[in-house]
């Protein structure tokens, strides 16, 4: 199905913006810690854990360590979500769409 010239150009622009958005989100790198820095997690924009650093003192209490790892991972994921949303809002703002559409 062939779209009218204006519509086709808009679709191409939207596709380019989506590709750019995916690149920008993939480039996100965050770090979050818990337990006063006893556990630190590094995560990328696709929510892949890139690294975990655990202070040896935290290893003495397994349950506490599990909670700190979980908290650090959840905080890192939240940071990725926040940065992704900020990038999307900035990019979508240039389209002139009504607020709340994305």
Question: If you search the block for the tokens 């062939």, which residue do you land on?
Answer: 2
Query: Which domains are assigned to the chain?
Result: 28-88 (3.30.1310.10)
Angle at 15 between CA 14 and CA 17, to 5 degrees: 65
The confidence band for 79, taking pLDDT boundaries of 50, 70 and 90, is: very high
What is the average pLDDT across 36-57? 96
The 3-state DSSP class for residue 1 equals coil
Question: What pLDDT does 100 receive?
Answer: 55
Encoding tokens for residue 95?
A: 């389209």
Q: Taking residues 80-85, report their average pLDDT.
A: 93
pLDDT, average across residues 42-60: 95
Alpha helices in the chain (DSSP H): 5-26, 62-93
Express each pLDDT in 1-10 by its tens digit.
Answer: 566 667 888 8
């Amino acid at each position: 199905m062939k779209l009218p010239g204006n519509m086709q150009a808009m679709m191409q622009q939207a596709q380019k913006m989506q590709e750019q958005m995916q690149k920008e989100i993939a480039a996100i790198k965050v770090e979050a810690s818990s337990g006063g820095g006893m556990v630190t997690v590094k995560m990328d924009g696709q929510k892949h854990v890139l690294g975990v650093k655990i202070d040896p003192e935290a290893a003495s209490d397994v349950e506490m360590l599990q909670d700190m790892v979980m908290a650090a991972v959840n905080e890192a994921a939240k940071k990725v979500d926040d940065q992704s949303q900020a990038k999307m809002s900035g990019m979508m703002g240039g389209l002139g769409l009504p607020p709340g559409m994305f």
